[in-house]
Amino acid sequence: MTSSAPRVEARTLTRELPGPVPVTLVRDIDLVVEPGEFVAVTGPSGSGKSSLLYLLGLLDAPTGGSVLIQGEETSGLSPDQWAAIRLARIGFVFQFHFLLPEFSCLANVEIPIRRLGRLSTAQARERAAMLLDSMELADHAGKLPEQLSGGQRQRVAIARALANDPPLILADEPTGNLDTRTAHMVFDLFGKLAREQGRSIVVVTHDSDLAQLADRRIHLVDGRIVP
Ligand SMILES: Nc1ncnc2c1ncn2[C@@H]1O[C@H](COP(=O)(O)OP(=O)(O)OP(=O)(O)O)[C@@H](O)[C@H]1O
């Protein structure tokens, strides 16, 4: 691994589903995302956007090619090693917030910090509170997710994605359930996380207006990048 390595790199990445009639979800994708870049992945429904994001996030294994995270080849690694990379280096945001309903917003952000185990309990709580504060949610820290609006919940999910200070954030239709104004706010936030904090952000969206807010767009059709 070198300090000049891209944040995430796909090399001829391919994912086929075996079967009598094999289905190719993603084919021969070459992609490099540098530190500080905010990339939107667009394309019609079924074009492979989510499949690509899952491969980049080590949530699914390719059947061809490879993914490198900060220059580290991930192909030969064990499931435990993948899980360790996900926990420490990748933040995920999904269309549905997947917050734990029985835990406060603060606890939802604190749990992954505790799981990583680098901070004391008090420090973990302090960091979770700081992250919620940075999302302008300090007043809501003690509330349950169901007590928040959709946009607020998605900001809690983003705070949780930032819990372990990951260099890479992957988001799959993070604004799919939000109104246009709130969706723009979330995209602006991703832009700031890239430009001001040097994180790499890859966001899947089918909304071409929102994609314009990213620094770069890649467009998928039938599992391939097209110009
Ligand atoms: N486990 C699976 N079994 C069979 N087909 C699958 C599976 N997962 C995905 N697919 C198919 O693979 C293709 C790519 O799916 P994917 O979810 O990556 O597309 P997408 O661009 O994210 O679509 P959308 O915008 O609708 O979410 C689709 O045709 C989908 O139906």
Closest residue to atom 31 of ligand 1, CA basis: 46
* Total structural domains within the chain: 1
Give residue 62's pLDDT: 97
- Which residues contact ligand 1 via a Cβ below 6 A? 17, 23, 25, 43, 45-51, 206
**Closest-lying ligand 1 atom to the alpha carbon of residue 51:** 18
Two structure tokens written together for 157: 């999910």
What is the distance between the alpha carbons of residues 142 and 148, in angstroms, rounded to a whole number?
11
Q: What is the pTM of this model?
A: 0.92
Residue 151 Ramachandran class (φ > 0 left, ψ -120 to 50 alpha, else beta): alpha
Domain containing 161 equals 35-51+80-216
Two structure tokens written together for 84: 């360790």
Two structure tokens written together for 202: 């890859």
Residues in the chain, pLDDT under 70: 1-3
In a domain, 208, yes or no: yes
Give residue 97's pLDDT: 80
In a domain, 143, yes or no: yes
In a domain, 223, yes or no: no
In a domain, 60, yes or no: no
Under 8 Å CB-to-CB from 95, ≥6 apart: which residues?
172, 173, 174, 176, 177
What is the distance between the alpha carbons of residues 43 and 59, in angstroms, rounded to a whole number?
21
Give residue 2's pLDDT: 47
In a domain, 158, yes or no: yes
Closest residue to atom 16 of ligand 1, CA basis: 48
Q: What is the CATH number of the domain that holds 195?
A: 3.40.50.300
Closest residue to atom 29 of ligand 1, CA basis: 46
Compute, in angstroms, the gap from residue 18 CA to the centroid of ligand 1. 14
